[in-house]
Structure 1
Amino acid sequence: MVRAAVKGVKVAAPLLATLAVLAEPVAARAVAADPRALYGAELVFDIYREDRPVGQHRARFRAIDGGVEVRSTTAITLKALFFTVYRFDYDSLAEWRAGALSKLTVAVDDNGDRRAITVAPAGDGLRLTVDAETPRAVPRPLFPTNHWNAAVLGEGRVLNTLTGALNDVRIRAGARAEVVTENGVVAATRYDYTGDLRTSVWYDDRGRWVAMRFLGRDGVPVEYRCRRCQGGPPAQ
């Protein structure tokens, strides 16, 4: 939970010099870091819409030969009275080697609208396939929009893992804030995406993802609030 315009977010006094110093180190540390050293085996967020819990996001990290496997899942359910009016399910499995994405498979079920995305090695680059479309070559490095890896902050293009599109973005550091985590309040920096994506993501000073906020298709704010983002015991 972030303390600011987002409920639970308290923005610290503007310190432009501090922000300028922090923006690069956060990304640089994340490139070399094993995500298990940052998050432990699991990263968990509760998802809120209009301040009501509607789902959960999890990322699980597992060592593999020569790298790390990351499984990310999201489940959202919206109800009206006692009826389910919307359901969203997301499941991705990625392999990261030497700090770079090597393979990725994604399955999305957006209230019955299904999409499959795959990324595989292809020579010096990668091959991106969306549903039954013709595969396309994409250069390395490629960062998917799973957000746990703060090295994305230095990028100008990301893979949208909901649509399979390559989105051109500008990511800029914003205000400092205090974010509620399982270990209490931590200092974090907000990073705002503009361009093809518009969202705000908060990272603490070690490069750990601790919060996110964006507008849904209907214009209603959606928040990711930390349940487990500091490497504590597995969430229940």
Structure 2
Amino acid sequence: MGKALFLILMLLVTGLLLQPVSAMAATTEQWAFRAIRKGEDIGHHNVTVTRRDGEAKATVDISLIVRAFGFLPLYHYHHKSQELWRDGRLVSLESTTDDNGAQHYVKALATADGVLQIEGSRFKGSAPADVMTTSYWNSAFPRHKLLLDTQSGRLLEVTVAEQPLQPEEGVPPDARHYRLDGDLRLELWYDSARRWIKNRFRASDGSVIDYRLAP
């Protein structure tokens, strides 16, 4: 190996080694839920969150299809979104949703003073810097009463009440159960580490949809 090439390689390696550890380290969390309706699997709700240097980047992918007789599509829902959080506050959000043919979107961006500017298919305006999104993965979710609907941009006011824990399939005995009422109604379960582990809500036809973590 020539001296010049050796010197270049040494400089590259040294440069990599001198990078701050915090700039190279990242942690990734993933949630993969199966959506169950009337005992049948109707799709998935997947979330990936990558954390680095005080930032969290979340990617959400939802695909649900309800079929009659096991093959005839009656309803479909597809949602994709990306969130960027910094120091526990939302910096930006972009999403697109196909709700059985109705198209929705959200674009949100935090301003220099922290206020969140929202342009959505059902709301255009601003929201406080500490607003919480309806993507549920954030461990601080149960503490918030004002939510940003990631489907259409609406601001939702809710009440959150912890419920007595009942035996639930796939839920550990130290899990915590919350019920939301108001502009959004659903039930959520988090484990002792405040990690989202279960979800339940009623669809527009009155049927119950359960989220269960995929094995």
Evaluate the alpha carbon distance shift between residue 186 and residue 46 of structure 1 in structure 2; reply closer, same or farther with a 3 A threshold: farther
CA distance in 2, matches of 1:201, 1:207: 11
**Per-residue CA distance 1:6-56 (angstroms, 9 max, x = gap):** xxxxxxxxxxxxxxxxxxxxxxxxxxxxxx86xx43111100111211010
- Post-superposition Cα deviations, 1:155-199, rounded to whole Å, max 9, x if no partner, equal 111012233210110101111245555xx8453111000111111
- 1:56 maps to which of 44, 47, 59: 44
Q: Indicate which of 157, 166, 170 corresponds to 2:155.
A: 166
- Assess, with a 3 A threshold, how the Cα gap between structure 1 residues 130 and 100 changes in structure 2: closer, same or farther: same
Q: Percent identity?
A: 26
Give 2:174's aligned amino acid. A
**Does residue 126 of structure 1 match 2:116?**
yes
Per the alignment, residue 198 of structure 1 pairs with 185
Question: Residues 46 and 132 (structure 1 numbering): CA distance in 2 closer, same or farther, change over 3 Å?
Answer: closer
- The within-5 A match list for 1:72-151 is 72-81=60-69, 82-124=71-113, 125-131=115-121, 135-151=124-140
Please state how far the C-alpha of 1:69 moved relative to its aligned partner.
0.8
Q: CA RMSD in A?
A: 2.1
Distance 1:194 1:41 in 2: 28
Deviation readout 1:101-134 (Å, 9 max, x if unpaired): 110001000111111111101232110111396x
TM-score normalised over the length of structure 1: 0.74
Counterpart in the other structure of 2:197:
210
Q: Distance in 2 between matches of 1:41 and 1:205?
A: 16
**Structure index of larger Rg:** 2
In structure 1, stretches of 5+ residues that fail to align are 1-35, 229-236
1:220 aligned residue: 207
Query: Contact 1:59–1:71 at 8 Å: present in 2 too?
Result: yes
Query: In 2 relative to 1, CA 87–132 (structure 1 residues): closer, same or farther, beyond 3 Å?
Result: closer
**59-68 vs 185-194, which moves further:** 59-68
Query: 2:7: which partner in 1?
Result: none
Q: Partners in 2 of 1:75 and 1:189 — Cα distance?
A: 27
1:19-30 aligned within 5 A? none
Deviations 1:34-93 (A, max 9, x none): xx86xx431111001112110100001224565121001110011113222211100010
Distance in 1, Cα, partners of 2:95 & 2:53 = 21
- The alignment's TM-score, normalised by the length of structure 2, stands at 0.80
In structure 1, C-alpha distance between the alignment counterparts of 2:125 and 2:61, rounded to whole Å: 25
Greater RCO (CA < 8 Å, at least 6 residues apart): 1
Tell me how far apart the structure 2 counterparts of residues 113 and 48 of structure 1 sit (CA, whole Å): 23
Distance in 2 of aligned mates of 1:97 and 1:74: 24
Aligned equivalents of 1:149, 1:44: Cα separation in 2: 15
Number of equivalent positions: 188
